[in-house]
Amino acid sequence: MPIALERHLNTSQLKAVETVDGALLVLAGAGSGKTRVITYRVLHMIDNLGIRPESILAVTFTNKAADQMKTRVRERLPAGRSADPWISTFHSLCVRLLRREIEALGYGRDFAIYDADDQVKVIRELLKSAGMDSVKPRRIQSRIGWAKNRGIAPGAMADHAFRAEDEAVGRVYADYESRLRADNALDFDDLLIKTVELFEKFPDTAARYGERFRYIMVDEYQDTNRAQYALIGHLARPHGNVCVVGDEDQSIYGWRGAEIQNILDFEKDYPDARTIRLEQNYRSTRTILAAAGAVVAHNRMRKGKQLWTENPQGSKIRYFEGHDPGHEAAFVSERILRRRRREPDARIAVLYRTNFLSRTLEEVFRRFDIPYQVVGGFSFYERAEVKDILSYLAAAVNPRDSVRLGRIINTPPRGIGRTTTDALQSWARAHHASLWDAIAGVADDSAAPARSRRALAAFRTLIEELAASAAEGIRTVELIRQVIEKTGYVAALEDEATEEAGSRIDNLRELANAAEEGAQRGESLRDFLDNAALVSDQDAWDENARVTLMTLHTAKGLEFPTVFIVGLEDGLFPHARSIDDDGDVEEERRLFYVGMTRAQERLYLTCARARRVFGSEDAAVTAVSRFLREIPPDLVDALSEPSFSEPAARMRGGYTGRSYDTTEAVRSVLDTRARTAPRSGAWKPGAKVRHAKFGLGTVLGIVGEGDDAKLTVSFNNHGLKKLIAKYATLEPA
């Protein structure tokens, strides 16, 4: 039965769905039903037009978006089809293509994927052997990424030397590239770049995939970079059926090489392209939309859209200035509690520019007993123990992966220390060989110390055994079990018998579960490793979480009835690094626009008048974000007296929890807190306490008074600790 599109779509949406052949640009404003259009477009093609699902390719940026689209399409399509449409992220699409085709470029099909940490490790080693210890590896990494995303080769680095350091960067960059080739490894940028290179060198291959994917859709087109743009160009060449969806006002990845010009120039690139604007917003109140629109109107680089909505006016935007981050967080907490009293299941997001801002919020939320979920920071797959075990699996598949091998060569300790690894390094350099070859070389070298040789030979046997198991196609869970047994990894953790070691063991159990779940979906070991390499922070997000904390970047594509944007101070948002460049400020402004338009009904904007950097003694006085002044005043309800002109002296020492003016509401909550949570000086010997890191314990002794008191606490799992009351985050237990 054909899908009745008219019942689900407005006029513009319907036009976008029904325009299937040729090039199509859909300019979809925030909340205008973009995902709905893409989903129905796929359904329409398959169900109403009889297009084969496997000839449809939809590309997104995040796994989350891809999964969501897959689910929605699958739900509405009749069961029993031969295949699904290809819906995936740019990166996983490239991995799938390269796993089949990369041998044409001289790599092995089992290439490793290096993440940012791996890159830094490689660069650090290269710098060390070049004697350039003073340069920071992270800087080099970001410069290399900058160059790669703009198609600048190592040799051309000096020509493009926008910065003095770039000539040196060029040299490291060249070494870096050959090192990755020796390791049979690609970094994230390479995944895209090498696919494009493949298509350029082998037009037949490009044409083959172009023929296969006759209908192409790209989500968030404003965030595509040079390589992604070229990739789509190659795939669309045979037929020109390409539909890109995006919003130039939501382009927020310029720093990562995204070129807003790609969407602005789409009509030039595809001269017979049709353009459809989706301007009706279904998400936000009139007030929120008007405020966001007024802000983004300050940007010059726009195609221009006029969003409108039939939604009600809604309440004004609430603005609050705290004295410091603690005060700001207390305000947010109080408003969250108030909302939950009216509506226990309310979904609330707290958004910030930089990850470290979550710390104060988390601390205060815990004191208010507000459960929350932080999205970002480190994900499951970034935990040391998980990375360790995954490294064993990766090494079993590709022993040339020297980053993974280097990580596990002495983890857990097996007698391969500095001296031995130094010997390996110089052997590898002398023979232009990989770490793996060096291990064999030194183990067989009768001139090397017998102890090292024994340890290395044992390690080599271990990896070879694991590789043999992997080659047999043994279940991933089973291989994990072998790793744990043969290395004694979990046994070592069990010996530690600490709370932390216990949670690490739990994490490994979780890893085994993930492997088993993957296996049941039919994933191979290789697939499992690829997925682990490509998961993002957003993927761990539980949509049902009541209170979610995340960066503004992560929030893109999501919506919440209530949204807080915190830390609205110049230098923080817009970020100090962007403030000097008009283009960069425009991108920050778009980011603010993205944040505001996440809100459906209630939007709170907050800042702190003083903020500490690195926990310094005195908190620096802040200036209110310039973006706040771009909101029409009549849309805003100020909940505190703006007083940024106050003398700095008043802010000294930061937030004490006493003696400041604020709204009655915050004060009452703070008072409650003061009654329930004793001030830090109030502990008595014998009191049971809980520490964020050490867990449960008992206070044994106290020296001094108040905040300066030094406590001696006996923790159940960490033994005796001496703590200073002011800094220790102790709670009564």
Residues near DNA (CB under 7 A) are: 61-63, 89-91, 115-116, 136, 138, 188, 252, 255-256, 353-356, 376, 410, 413-420, 451-452, 534, 536-538, 550-551, 553-554, 575, 577-578, 614-615, 724, 727
Choice between 270 and 381, CB closer to DNA: 381
Choice between 410 and 425, CB closer to DNA: 410
Per the DSSP assignment, residues forming a β-bridge with 167 are none
Which residues have CB under 8 Å from 214's CB, separation 6+? 51, 55, 56, 239, 241
Smallest gap from Cβ 191 to DNA, in A, equals 8
Q: Which amino acid is at 169?
A: V
Q: Exactly one of 183, 187, 219, 248 is catalytic; which is it? A: 219
Smallest gap from Cβ 202 to DNA, in A, equals 24
Smallest gap from Cβ 145 to DNA, in A, equals 8
- The vertex-422 CA angle with 420 and 425, nearest 5°, equals 115
**DSSP-derived secondary structure letter, 467:** H
Q: Exactly one of 34, 226, 407, 609 is catalytic; which is it? A: 34
Smallest gap from Cβ 556 to DNA, in A, equals 9
Choice between 89 and 309, CB closer to DNA: 89
Active site residue 606: no
- The vertex-176 CA angle with 175 and 181, nearest 5°, equals 100
Choice between 250 and 551, CB closer to DNA: 551
Choice between 581 and 637, CB closer to DNA: 581
Look at residues 367, 321, 375, 295 and name the one whose alpha carbon lies nearest to residue 560.
375
Choice between 245 and 550, CB closer to DNA: 550
Look at residues 68, 71, 110 and name the one whose alpha carbon lies nearest to residue 530.
110
Query: What angle, 0 to 180 degrees and rounded to 10, lies between the N-to-C axes of helices 476-487 and 489-496?
Result: 60
Q: Can the peptide bond before residue 633 be classed as cis, meaning omega within 30 degrees of 0?
A: no
Neighbours of 97 (CB within 10 A): 18
Query: What Cα–Cα distance (Å) separates residue 629 from each residue in 126, 570, 635?
Result: 48, 11, 12
Which residues have CB under 8 Å from 11's CB, separation 6+? none
Smallest gap from Cβ 249 to DNA, in A, equals 16
Neighbours of 481 (CB within 10 A): 15
Choice between 343 and 494, CB closer to DNA: 494
Distance CA 352, CA 349 (A): 10
Contact between 274 and 56 (Cβ < 8 Å): no
Per the DSSP assignment, residues forming a β-bridge with 721 are 713
Contact between 334 and 665 (Cβ < 8 Å): yes
- What is the helix (H) or strand (E) element at residue 9, kind and residue range? none
Contact between 353 and 252 (Cβ < 8 Å): no
Q: Exactly one of 70, 179, 353, 598 is catalytic; which is it? A: 598
Active site residue 684: no
Three-class secondary structure of residue 498 per DSSP? coil
Look at residues 339, 360, 361 and name the one whose alpha carbon lies nearest to residue 350.
361
545: tokens are: 């979480």
Per the DSSP assignment, residues forming a β-bridge with 351 are 550, 565
Smallest gap from Cβ 45 to DNA, in A, equals 25
Smallest gap from Cβ 675 to DNA, in A, equals 25
Q: Exactly one of 166, 190, 220, 401 is catalytic; which is it? A: 220
> What secondary structure, in 3-state letters, does 150-207 show?
CCCCHHHHCCCCCCCCHHHHHHHHHHHHHHHHHCCEEEHHHHHHHHHHHHHHCHHHHH
Q: Which amino acid is at 559?
A: E
705: tokens are: 């008074």
Active site residue 306: no
Smallest gap from Cβ 338 to DNA, in A, equals 28
Smallest gap from Cβ 508 to DNA, in A, equals 19
> What secondary structure, in 3-state letters, does 513-580 show?
HHHHHHHHCCCCHHHHHHHHHHCCHHHHCCCCCCEEEEEHHHHCCCCEEEEEECCCECEECCECCCCC
Choice between 65 and 157, CB closer to DNA: 65
Three-class secondary structure of residue 399 per DSSP? coil
Helices (H), 270-318: 286-296
Q: How many CA atoms lie within 13 A of 299 on its CB side?
A: 24
Choice between 119 and 285, CB closer to DNA: 119
Q: Exactly one of 141, 205, 228, 250 is catalytic; which is it? A: 250
Q: Exactly one of 19, 35, 261, 421 is catalytic; which is it? A: 35
Contact between 581 and 636 (Cβ < 8 Å): no
Choice between 83 and 720, CB closer to DNA: 720
Choice between 222 and 551, CB closer to DNA: 551
Choice between 86 and 270, CB closer to DNA: 86
Smallest gap from Cβ 456 to DNA, in A, equals 10
229: tokens are: 């743009």
Distance CA 419, CA 277 (A): 64
Q: Which amino acid is at 69?
A: M
Smallest gap from Cβ 569 to DNA, in A, equals 13
Task: Determine the straight-line distance between the first and last CA of the chain, rounded to whole angstroms.
Answer: 62
Active site residue 220: yes
Smallest gap from Cβ 538 to DNA, in A, equals 5
Q: Which residue has the tokens 């939809």?
A: 58
Choice between 33 and 325, CB closer to DNA: 325
Three-class secondary structure of residue 719 per DSSP? strand
Q: Which residue has the tokens 């603010």?
A: 592
Smallest gap from Cβ 34 to DNA, in A, equals 18
**DSSP-derived secondary structure letter, 652:** T
Provide the annotated active-site residues: 34-35, 219-220, 250, 598
